[in-house]
Amino acid sequence: MPKTIGVVGLGYVGLTLTAALATKDFVVHGSDVSPGVLETLSHGRSHIFEPGVEEVFAEHIGTRIHVGTELPPNTVEVAVISVSTPVDDNTRRPNLANLAAAARSVAARCAPGTLVVVRSTVPVGTSRQVVLPELRAAWGDDVKLVMAPERTIQGQALRELVELPQVIGGLDEASLRAGVEFFSGLARTIVEVSDLETAELVKLSNNCHTDLIYSFGNEIALIAERHGLDPLEVIRAANADYPRPDLSKPGYVGGGCLSKDPYIMIDSAHGREPFLVGRARELNEFMPVHVAETVVGMLREARGETRGARLAVLGWAYKGWPPTDDMRGTPIASMMPAFSAAGITVIGHDPMVTDDVIRQYGGDPVSLDKAFSESDAVLVINDHPDYRAISIPEILGESRPAFIYDSWRVLDAGAVTAAGIRYAGLGYLPRFDAKASA
C-alpha cells in the first residue's frame, strides 16, 4: 500500500483529505499556489474552519504533513489533484485551467506510473480529455489515473472521509486496482464503477439532486406565501408517517458545491439543456433576492420609508449548521443590492465570520444584543446554534425591532409576537396586529 501522498490544491477538499490521511499514518506533501495558505499551514494553523483539521496540522506539520509550492520531485506514490474548478460568473461555464495546470505539474514532478487521482468536481469526460493528455505527453502510456470524487459535508469532513463510501472509477483495470488499494487505507467502503466518466457523474448527481430536493421545499414556500399558509405546517403534515421520500424544508442553498455544480452538470449535457437542474438552481438563487425584496417591503410598511432604516442581519456564512465560516454562495451577497438600493444600513453578526469579512460584504459588525436593540428589523439568515439558543425576552431591550424575519424558523415565534414584534419566515407572512399583540 502506498504511504507517501501528494495533494495538489489545499482548498477545502485538499486540506481535509490531507488531514484525514495524516491521521491514518500517511505522509502527505501538499502544494498550493497561494503564499498566504502555505504560510498559515506551515505554522500548523488552518485557513479554513473545519472541526479537527487545525489540530491535525498542529500535531503533524513537518513530520507527516509537508507543504510547499510544488510537490517534491519523484517522491510521492500517489498524486491527488484537488484544485478548484470555478464557474464563470457570466457564462456559467466551468473554467478548467487550474485542473490542466495541476496535471502538468504532476506530470513534471512525479515519476511515470504514479497513481494520479482526480478529486476536483469536473464535467463528465474531463479526466480523460483534460488530465490524461497532460500525463501522456510526459509519461507516454505509463499512466495510472482514477476519478475519486469528494462527497463530504462541511463540519463533518474528517469523519465522513472515513465513513462514507468512496466511489472510484479508473482509466483501466490497473488504475482501478491501484486506486482501490490507496483508498482502502482511508475509507471503510469502496464502490468501484466502470470508468472515469461514471465516477464524475456520481459526484454531480449527488450534489444536483440535493439542490433539486431543496428547491422543491422552496417551491412549496413560495406557493404557501401566496395563500397565507404556513409551509412548515404543510411539509410536516405531508411527511407525517408517509412512506414516500420526505419533503425538504425551505431554505437558502449555497456553498462552494451546490452553487456551481449544477452548472457543471449542465455543461456535461453537451448542448442539450437538462429539464430540471437549471430550473432548480434558478429557483434556489431566486430565494435570497425574493426575501430581500420582501424585507424591504416590510420595512417600508413599518416605517413609511426605507431610507435610513437599520436592518440587523444574523448569519453571514452560507449556512449555520454544521457551523462554517464559508462565504461561497452566501445569501447575503444576493441580498445586499436590494438593501443598498433602498437606502438601508445593514448591521451584521455571525459567530463564525470575522468583522472584516462582514465589512467586505457591506455590513457594519455588531454584537448580538445590539442587533436587536439598535435596529428597525432583524433578518436571520442562517441557523447557527447561537441563534437557536436566543431567549427573546432576555435579548430584547426597550428599543425593539418592528419585525423579525426568521428564515429558518429557529426562534420562539410565540415569544416574538408576545413582545409586540411581527414574526415572519420563508414563505410565512402571517398577518400581525401590533396593538392586539401588545
Q: What is the pLDDT of residue 41?
A: 97
At 403, which amino acid appears? F
Q: Which residue has the higher pLDDT, 272 or 115?
A: 115
Q: Is the dihedral of CA 405, 409, 415, 417 positive or negative?
A: positive
pLDDT above 90 as % of the chain: 95
Give the global pTM. Answer: 0.93
DSSP 94: B
- Looking at residue 434, what is its pLDDT? 62
- pLDDT tens by residue, 174-229: 999 999 999 999 999 999 999 999 999 999 999 999 999 999 999 999 999 999 99
Q: What percent of the chain has pLDDT over 70?
A: 99
3-state secondary structure 226-271: HHCCCHHHHHHHHHCCCCCCCCCCCCCCCHHHHCCHHHHHHHHCCC
Mean pLDDT of 377-385: 97
Average pLDDT over residues 122-138: 98
CA gap 68, 33 in Å, rounded: 9
Distant-in-sequence contacts of 413-417, Cβ < 8 A, 24+ apart: 415/391, 416/392
Q: How many residues does the chain have?
A: 438
Dist CA 416 CA 424 (whole Å): 10
The whole-angstrom separation of Cα 7 and Cα 32 is 9
Amino acid identity of residue 324, one-letter, is: T
Closest-CA residue to 25 (of 10, 3, 41, 6):
3
Could you report the per-residue pLDDT of 48-101, keeping only the tens digit for each? 999 999 999 999 999 999 999 999 999 999 999 999 999 999 999 999 999 999
Domains and CATH numbers, the chain: 4-194 (3.40.50.720), 281-437 (3.40.50.720)
Residue 438 confidence (pLDDT) above 60: no
Indicate the pairing of strand 4-8 with strand 403-406: unpaired
> What is the edge-to-edge ordering of all strands in the sheet holding 27-31?
65-68, 27-31, 4-8, 78-81, 115-118, 144-147, 166-170, 190-193
With a CB cutoff of 8 Å and minimum separation 6, the contacts of 71 are 6, 8, 29, 31, 79, 105, 106, 109, 110
pLDDT category at 16 given cuts 50, 70, 90 is very high
Read off the pLDDT band of 431 (50, 70, 90).
Answer: confident
pLDDT in tens, 251-267: 999 998 999 999 999 99
